[in-house]
Structure 1
Amino acid sequence: MSSLTNMPVSVDQEDAGLKEPKEHDSNSEGHDDDFSGIDEKKTLRKMDVRLIPALAVLYLLAFLDRGNIGNAKIQGLTKDLHLSDDGYNIASTVFFLTYCAFEVPSNLLLKRLRPSIWLPSIMIAWGTCTVCLGVVQNYHALVVVRIFLGVTEAGLYPGVAYYLTMWYCTNEMALRQGLFFSAASMAGAFSGLLAYLIVKMNGVGGYEGWRWIFILEGLLTVVVAIAAFFLLHDFPETASFLTPEERAWAAHRLKYQGSSRSDRMVAEDDKFKWKYVVQAMTDWQLYLGILMYWGIVCPLYGISLFLPTIISQLGYTATIAQLLTIPIYITAAVVTLVVCYFSDKAAKAGRSRSPYVFFPMCAILVGFIMAIAGSAAGTVPGIVYAGVFIATCGIYPAFPGNITWMSNNLAGSYKRAAGMALHIGVGNLGGAMASNFYRKVDSPKFLLGHGLELMFCVIGMIALAALRYSYGRINEKRDALHNDGSEHTDQQLNYVDVPWHLPSSPLNANVRSKAYIDVPYPFILGNGVAGVVEEIGPSVTKLKRGDRVVSDTLIYQFKETKYRCWQKYVVGTAATTAKIPENTAFEDAAAIPFTLLTAVAALHLKLGDE
């Protein structure tokens, strides 16, 4: 059974309740690695310090460069370029059309090329486009440059969102996504402050102040991009800042124990196939996720593109309006980190992440209701400002929660890359819609814009509830498999001849646990064999009692961690398992086409005598 030792397996929650085995099977083949000398928390901190700040700066600059048109607008861009209200909205909209169109191919290129090369390269490209925005002379040039800005920025967010899954386990993702995405909120604050300072250069070199906003921020992006070539790292197994032992541990935990996904493989192991893109495009959960995403991204871009305008229409000067955006964005960044921290804690405790998306969306709902009420009552500045303040503090924490929740449920490295790019790409069409929500003809109340944001938020909340309900129904069906097996004979259960697998084994009672798609618990097939669902769909529903179970008895020791050891299993139909060559070399095992394989299991054994 050595061919099974290279299958990706996860170590899930602590509730397996198994007692520690008395001996280790030293004759088993595979990764019998001893990581007892690794300080896991220290290594994770080292990864965080090297990865997250650099990625956050990249995204801060990306969000700064796509949103600074909102700051330039109230500083004279529309007047100097003779833009109509529709002209500005079109210039904002075209960015999202190419941004969405190029996210999937860009993410696939990230998989084919090195992240440390691809990400800085597209940064230089969009930084150059931003500088060009500062020298455009008419509406048509503005639109063309915004089109190319969308093309060049398309790969960053979905690329980094996917890239993080190649370094961190699913129950660590929300906080890291939050740390990364909070840069978008800080970009809003930074943008307002920079605009306030840069417009003082009005007339320098013969350029208006709004032009210097684009020129200086674009040049900053190019400089950081050059540094990023030397600062970014590709994947754990090639990271120079980790010791060889730490690299082995980082790669090992993603392959075997750190994830609730059976398919979480080290990034360089995967081979691209177009079927993964097709699988992503035909995955039903992706489209509910997109509707949920629209409920967040429409308010996000409505705020990022028009917040200075909304505030200035409350009676404040352009300069004061720029400054009043700062406390909103800083507070939103703090709230994002807090919510994402508790989202990860919930995942580690085996609870769903969905409440950490739902309740921030409730804040978006309340915020826009307040903005509408304050405007309808004759424009009460305090109420409108408080409303957009609250809405913004809901938007930013909901965004990484949505991405993390969806990425945790997409199986396969390339399918996840394509699926996340589709989710984010099609979802960002909401930005194209939001670019047209706040029209000059509707100022100063902007009732239509606030109302449309409210509508999309409600649609997103309905989609979230539908997705959670669908997961619940699937999980209820799986719960039906969790009986004691007393009405089935050993022949019906068709277990391999390993004593503790039999229903009569006392140890058998300790391996039952529930299976949730969005919660990292094991999936029980039959009576006593745990697995992790690889994907949602017909292949999973075909798993039933009587399917052949193939096990590999290799046990791994983790002496210094809370998991002393665990045992892994491959679950598949008899037709699938019959195709496995008996003496396949370990390094060749990953290439075996397990086309019908639907689950890989990890039973973890707790320390102690319970």
Structure 2
Amino acid sequence: MSPLQPKSAATNEGLDKVHEKDARSLESSVGLEDPVIDGRVWRKLDYRILPVMTMFYLLSFLDRTNVGNARVAGLQTDLGMSNKQYSIALTVTYVPYILSELPSNLMLKALGPNLVLPTMLTLWGIVCALQGIVNSYSGLLACRFFIGLLEGGVFPGLVLYLSYFYPRYKMNTRITLFFSSASLSGAFSGILAYGIIQMDGVGNRPGWSWIFILEGLFTFLFGLSSYFFFPRSLDKTWFLTSEEKEYVKAQLLNDTHKDEEVFSWREVIEAFKLPQLWLLGLAFFFAATILFGLAYFSPSIIQGLGYTAADAQLMSVPPYAVACVVALISSLISDRYRCRGSVCIVSVLFCAIGFAMFLGSQSKHVQYGSLFFSVTGAYMAAPTQATWNANNASPQTRRATVIAMGFILANSGGILATWLLGTLSPAPRYTKATITLLVFSLLAALFCALNIFYLRVQNAKKAERRRVMNREDEEPGLGNHSAWYIYNL
């Protein structure tokens, strides 16, 4: 239960900054701005929705990556696994994870996020706890498969859900606030693991098993309670007045145009034709390989520097704590100056600096210090890329497809990461893996730059169309192809 309170404090501090910024800078909305309503409505949404979303993603990331802490605490040795078998166990998580992302996102609108997301959380909490009682490699594989199947739709689902309530230029800070829980989970997983492994021998179970049991139990209980927290849609929010709901609808309509009323396979196909999906999707793949490699292996990397297993758990905390703060600052900059692409490029260049330091130095202090760059860069890039991807597709079904495909490509990088460190590149130096991740950092920067160039060209063409035609003359249903839909750079 200990992750909840530190996260809550961090979230409240971040939200205060968001509200100050929102009060100063309103979205342009055809004469519909009302400073009094504006400040009140976003504050209500932020304090009712974001803390729950934050806990969802914190628990998702924690329950998926705590296997790295369990490995250091003796999981691999007790189950008699080779490095190759450990990589297979991680890969088994990502196959159903990837396959479930698009169907899950397409189901949210039909079944309602208020039912789909809490159900996934409750069920994977049970499976996570069951990992603590497995006594064979095959049992672990089964658990990892179902964790991937149940967790796959969480991040794309939360990003899509957020777009139901916020205009595009208010999203990056909000996504970063709940994604910051991933970096916090990296920090708290080390602290929690250090404390939990002291239970070694309790109930005749090793310390690593209690990591899964206790963290899975908390996820299960929070999942049950979350059925009461999630409004299905803007119209179903019980904490907004009718006037406030209409105000938000006006902001969303002005920002993204009217969404289609029903699901459309035509819009799914249209999403696959968008060049920005594939340009940013490749950057997603490269950056996610970095992020998941660090998430799964940072305790092992630190242990390889000569620290004990217990010290490695604790020393994994500071890089993730720094990453959380820097990611929040970068998201405020991204929303304030509407510069998603530039923030993405800077973040992956941070990763490149970190890997260059790790590769080029023999000092364990420098190598440990390199994690502050690589971890920070990885956790800056992910929420900004997710926001940028969601910002440049409309209507809703097209956006849902684009969001899901972005995460499918990202989690394909997760599969590569599970093999890259340890199996294909042995500890403690991980030389081949470090070189690969350094190259991936530069490639991610390149594809982000290409996406900026493409979107800038498209915006110039749209400006020319707006110059020679009226908005009323444009055919309806164009979504992001509309001349009045300005792509976010």
Equivalent residue, structure 2, for 1:475: 459
User: Residue 65 of structure 1 aligns to a residue in which SS?
Assistant: helix
Structure 1 pair 600/457, CA: closer, same or farther in 2 (3 Å)?
Answer: closer
Name the CA distance, whole Å, in 2 between partners of 1:452 and 1:147.
Answer: 27
1:31-430 to 2 correspondence within 5 Å? 38-255=36-253, 257=254, 259=255, 261-263=256-258, 265=259, 270-347=261-338, 352-374=339-361, 379-430=362-413
- C-alpha displacement at 1:12, in angstroms? 6.7
Name the CA distance, whole Å, in 1 between partners of 2:480 and 2:329.
Answer: 39
Structure 2 residue corresponding to 1:570, chosen from 472, 478, 488: 472
Report if aligned partners of 2:392, 2:480 keep a CA contact under 8 Å in 1.
no
Report if aligned partners of 1:237, 1:250 keep a CA contact under 8 Å in 2.
no
- C-alpha displacement at 1:393, in angstroms? 0.9
Name the CA distance, whole Å, in 1 between partners of 2:375 and 2:480.
Answer: 44
Name the CA distance, whole Å, in 2 between partners of 1:165 and 1:361.
Answer: 25
Structure 1 pair 426/247, CA: closer, same or farther in 2 (3 Å)?
Answer: same
Opposite residue 178 of structure 1, the aligned amino acid is T
Report if aligned partners of 1:71, 1:195 keep a CA contact under 8 Å in 2.
yes
Report if aligned partners of 1:270, 1:414 keep a CA contact under 8 Å in 2.
no
Name the CA distance, whole Å, in 2 between partners of 1:244 and 1:13.
Answer: 21
Structure 1 pair 600/464, CA: closer, same or farther in 2 (3 Å)?
Answer: closer
Equivalent residue, structure 1, for 2:466: 524
Task: State how many pairs are aligned.
Answer: 460
Opposite residue 257 of structure 2, the aligned amino acid is S
Equivalent residue, structure 1, for 2:421: 438
Opposite residue 450 of structure 2, the aligned amino acid is A
Name the CA distance, whole Å, in 2 between partners of 1:82 and 1:37.
Answer: 62
Structure 1 pair 45/12, CA: closer, same or farther in 2 (3 Å)?
Answer: closer
Opposite residue 397 of structure 1, the aligned amino acid is M
Name the CA distance, whole Å, in 2 between partners of 1:139 and 1:455.
Answer: 34
- C-alpha displacement at 1:288, in angstroms? 1.1
Report if aligned partners of 1:570, 1:599 keep a CA contact under 8 Å in 2.
no
1:500-511 to 2 correspondence within 5 Å? none
Report if aligned partners of 1:174, 1:404 keep a CA contact under 8 Å in 2.
yes
Report if aligned partners of 2:92, 2:144 keep a CA contact under 8 Å in 1.
yes
Report if aligned partners of 2:282, 2:409 keep a CA contact under 8 Å in 1.
no
User: Residue 472 of structure 2 aligns to a residue in which SS?
Assistant: strand
Report if aligned partners of 1:110, 1:159 keep a CA contact under 8 Å in 2.
yes
- C-alpha displacement at 1:241, in angstroms? 1.1
Name the CA distance, whole Å, in 1 between partners of 2:43 and 2:303.
Answer: 42
Name the CA distance, whole Å, in 1 between partners of 2:33 and 2:461.
Answer: 38
- C-alpha displacement at 1:412, in angstroms? 1.1
Report if aligned partners of 2:168, 2:391 keep a CA contact under 8 Å in 1.
yes
Opposite residue 262 of structure 1, the aligned amino acid is H
Name the CA distance, whole Å, in 2 between partners of 1:476 and 1:278.
Answer: 25
- C-alpha displacement at 1:36, in angstroms? 5.3
Deviations 1:367-394 (A, max 9, x none): 11111112xxxx3111111112211111
Q: Give the TM-score, by structure 1 length.
A: 0.72
Name the CA distance, whole Å, in 2 between partners of 1:41 and 1:596.
Answer: 28
Opposite residue 413 of structure 1, the aligned amino acid is Q
Q: Percent identity among equivalent residues?
A: 33
Deviations 1:335-355 (A, max 9, x none): 0100000110012xxxx3211
Deviations 1:490-521 (A, max 9, x none): xxxxxxxxxxxxxxxxxxxxxxxxxxxxxxxx
State yes or no: 1:459 paired with 2:474: no
Equivalent residue, structure 2, for 1:543: none
Report if aligned partners of 2:344, 2:445 keep a CA contact under 8 Å in 1.
no
Opposite residue 351 of structure 2, the aligned amino acid is I
Report if aligned partners of 2:284, 2:409 keep a CA contact under 8 Å in 1.
no
Name the CA distance, whole Å, in 1 between partners of 2:99 and 2:134.
Answer: 24
Deviations 1:319-370 (A, max 9, x none): 10000011111110000100000110012xxxx3211111111101101111
- C-alpha displacement at 1:282, in angstroms? 2.5
Opposite residue 411 of structure 2, the aligned amino acid is N
Deviations 1:277-303 (A, max 9, x none): 111223222111111112211110000
Which of 224-233 and 433-442 deviates more? 433-442
Structure 1 pair 130/41, CA: closer, same or farther in 2 (3 Å)?
Answer: same
Name the CA distance, whole Å, in 1 between partners of 2:473 and 2:210.
Answer: 61
Report if aligned partners of 2:287, 2:410 keep a CA contact under 8 Å in 1.
no
- C-alpha displacement at 1:426, in angstroms? 2.2
Name the CA distance, whole Å, in 2 between partners of 1:474 and 1:133.
Answer: 49
Report if aligned partners of 2:127, 2:146 keep a CA contact under 8 Å in 1.
yes
Report if aligned partners of 1:297, 1:428 keep a CA contact under 8 Å in 2.
yes
User: Residue 340 of structure 2 aligns to a residue in which SS?
Assistant: coil
User: Residue 436 of structure 1 aligns to a residue in which SS?
Assistant: helix
Q: Give the TM-score, by structure 2 length.
A: 0.90
Name the CA distance, whole Å, in 1 between partners of 2:484 and 2:376.
Answer: 39
Opposite residue 47 of structure 1, the aligned amino acid is L
Equivalent residue, structure 1, for 2:6: none
- C-alpha displacement at 1:244, in angstroms? 2.0
Report if aligned partners of 1:571, 1:597 keep a CA contact under 8 Å in 2.
no
Structure 1 pair 184/58, CA: closer, same or farther in 2 (3 Å)?
Answer: same
Structure 1 pair 595/200, CA: closer, same or farther in 2 (3 Å)?
Answer: closer
User: Residue 45 of structure 1 aligns to a residue in which SS?
Assistant: helix
Report if aligned partners of 1:438, 1:446 keep a CA contact under 8 Å in 2.
yes
Structure 1 regions of 5+ residues with no counterpart?
1-10, 21-33, 482-522, 530-548, 550-568, 577-592, 603-610
Report if aligned partners of 2:276, 2:455 keep a CA contact under 8 Å in 1.
no
User: Residue 454 of structure 1 aligns to a residue in which SS?
Assistant: helix
**CA-based RMSD:** 2.2
Equivalent residue, structure 2, for 1:546: none
- C-alpha displacement at 1:462, in angstroms? 1.4
Deviations 1:507-550 (A, max 9, x none): xxxxxxxxxxxxxxxx6240xx5xxxxxxxxxxxxxxxxxxx5x
Report if aligned partners of 1:178, 1:336 keep a CA contact under 8 Å in 2.
yes
Opposite residue 466 of structure 2, the aligned amino acid is I
Say which one has the larger Rg: 1
- C-alpha displacement at 1:156, in angstroms? 0.6
Report if aligned partners of 1:38, 1:246 keep a CA contact under 8 Å in 2.
no
User: Residue 371 of structure 1 aligns to a residue in which SS?
Assistant: helix
* Greater per-residue helix proportion: 2
- C-alpha displacement at 1:83, in angstroms? 0.2
- C-alpha displacement at 1:148, in angstroms? 1.0
- C-alpha displacement at 1:140, in angstroms? 1.4
